[in-house]
Amino acid sequence: MRNLRLPILAIGAALLCGSAARGQTSAESPSSAAYRVGPGDVLDIKVYDDPDLSGLVTVQYAGDISFPLLGDVPVDGMTVKAVQETLVTLLAKDYLVDPQVIVRVKEHRSQWVTLVGEVIRPGKYYLQGSKSLLDLLTEAGGFTAGASGEVVVTRLGGGSGPSSTRSMEDGDQESESVRLFLSPEQSAAEQQGALSLTLRHGDIVTATSTQFFYISGEVKKPGSYPITAGLTILKAVSVAGGLTKFGGKSKVEILRKQQDGASRRIRVDLEDIERGKKPDVPLEAEDIVKVGKRVF
């Protein structure tokens, strides 16, 4: 089976550069600057020359922080810079002369995505600003050996990006799915295009398992083969090495399991398909293809 693990070594340099940028304390990275705080986030607030006003505060469920002298200050949905400017304005109004305030997010807990399926470390991952599919899969250790290379991102329609704080329980939006395919045969540009998808709060990312079809009878290499995007009966026969000298092009049938458990028989004439008289038949997971002998 092909190994579809992410080429982590190839992207390592870029990730190391990103880590170095996040480690700087003199300025917020672009992704951090775009982050909007919400309930659960822990903020590290420092007021220069006034340790009594400095410390860690948690954004409460209502979207407020409890701050000395000021009481409850609404911050839900604000960028870090906006929180900082708000505190400066409130402190300067009645309490301090030219206050110097620095705010950063100590713990990101208000926005997350859920990663499931064939990855090394599935689970809940918090967003710390803008996070791409590549960032997420790399953080999770990449695909397992059982991954198909297909990734399905299920999200609420009409979201506004990673800063959205809409809950997955909201009933006024329909969910939508984004399906992406990654394979070693793709060019670097094609893989980069798929992996650059920006994730949003509440996204459910599923790395699907490899699914198979089965082919038996008069083909040169009978057995089980993985389902790939765009696989049809003609391609399946080709993957199995083609027909033997006894194989009958009009003696092909597909056994397909229905939702009720019963099997449906689909008779196929490969010659009609090759001549364009009939459309090629797409294969589905768990299809069983049987090729019979031709009549002499």
98-114 tens-digit pLDDT:
999 999 999 999 999 99
pLDDT at residue 93 greater than cutoff 50 = yes
Fold match, 8-20+110-209 / 36-107 = no
Predicted pLDDT of residue 207: 94
Q: What is the pLDDT of residues 31-65, one digit of tens each?
A: 566 789 999 999 999 999 999 999 999 999 999 99
Exposed/middle/buried for 35, CB within 10 Å: 0-12, 13-18, 19+?
buried
User: Per the structure block, which two tokens stand in for 247?
Assistant: 């194989």
User: Per the structure block, which two tokens stand in for 108?
Assistant: 């990101």
Contact 208, 152 (CB under 8 A): yes
Contact 284, 271 (CB under 8 A): no
Of the two residues 227 and 296, the one the predictor is more confident about is: 227
C-alpha–C-alpha distance, residues 150 and 154, integer Å:
13
Q: What are the boundaries of each domain within the chain?
A: 8-20+110-209, 36-107, 212-293
Question: What class does CATH assign to 212-293?
Answer: alpha beta
Report the mean per-residue pLDDT for the chain: 83
pLDDT grade, residue 173 (50/70/90)?
low
| Domain topology for 36-107 | wza like fold (3.30.1950)
Q: What is the pLDDT of residues 200-255, one digit of tens each?
A: 999 999 999 999 999 999 999 999 999 887 899 999 999 999 999 999 999 999 99
Contact 111, 127 (CB under 8 A): yes
Predicted pLDDT of residue 130: 83
pLDDT grade, residue 66 (50/70/90)?
very high
The yes/no answer on whether domain 8-20+110-209 falls in CATH 3.30.1490.150 is no
Q: Estimate to the nearest angstrom the gap between the alpha carbon of 116 and the chain centroid.
A: 9
Half-sphere exposure of 162 (CA within 13 A, CB side): 23
C-alpha–C-alpha distance, residues 1 and 218, integer Å:
23
Read off the pLDDT of each residue in 262-281 and give the average, rounded to a whole number: 94
